[in-house]
Amino acid sequence: MSEPKPRILYCRCAFAQTVPKATKDEVLDQLCESGESFDTVSDLCEMSARKDPRITELLEGDEPVQIVACYHRAVKWLFHSAGVDFPEDRVEVLNMREESAEEICKKVLK
């Protein structure tokens, strides 16, 4: 049986210029050009800070998830700080602060 296709979660980091704009725009453009379903959030940090109930849904289920945001350590503990377990074994974090849009899209839109 083939591996299930990972769900895609993209963080826009809208409250700050933390992530290079060119990278986040290019990744979003490519997602929009693809035929994939995906989830996007305006700012994971903000959701974590206010313990937005939707943050618990984002990692629900048992399928793999690819999160396109920033550093793995930051993303993992942001979920934790919102009271959500971070299932390391099925979550991959792609870092728009370090990786290029091209590298990220290659992994996400295979």
Partner 1 sequence: MKNDTYPYQIILFEGNGATSLATERRREVTRTLLDKGYSVTRVTEDGGRNLSNPSGDIPVLILGDFEGNSPEVTSRETRIEIDTEDITGLDTETIITLVEQKRAGDGEGLNSPGEQGAWKPWFPVIDYDRCTNCMQCLSFCLFDVYGVDEEKQIQVQNNDNCKTNCPACSRVCPEVAIMFPKYSSGPINGAEVAETDVAREKMKVDITSLLGGDIYASLRTRSEKAKSRFSKERSPDKALNERKRCLTKLQQSGIIPAEVLAELDLESLPSPDEIQRKATEFAKMQAEADS
Stretch that binds ligand SF4, among 37-45, 56-64, 85-93, 100-108 (CB under 6 A): 37-45
Residue 104 touches which member of ligand SF4, partner 1, none, C-beta under 5-8 Å by kind: none
Residues 65-104 close enough to bind partner 1 by CB under 8 A: 70-75, 77-78, 80-81, 97
- Distance between CA 68 and CA 108 in Å, rounded? 9
The number of residues that bind partner 1 (CB under 8 A) is 47
Residue 109 touches which member of partner 1, ligand SF4, none, C-beta under 5-8 Å by kind: none
Residue type, 14: A
End-to-end CA distance of the chain, in Å? 18
- Distance between CA 21 and CA 71 in Å, rounded? 16
- Distance between CA 36 and CA 108 in Å, rounded? 10
| CA distances in angstroms from 101 to 11, 77, 84, 109, listed in the order given | 13, 24, 28, 11
Residues near ligand SF4 (CB under 6 A) are 11, 13, 18-19, 43-45, 69-70, 74-75, 78
Residues near partner 1 (CB under 8 A) are 7, 12-16, 18, 25, 28-29, 31-33, 35-43, 45-54, 56-57, 60-61, 70-75, 77-78, 80-81, 97
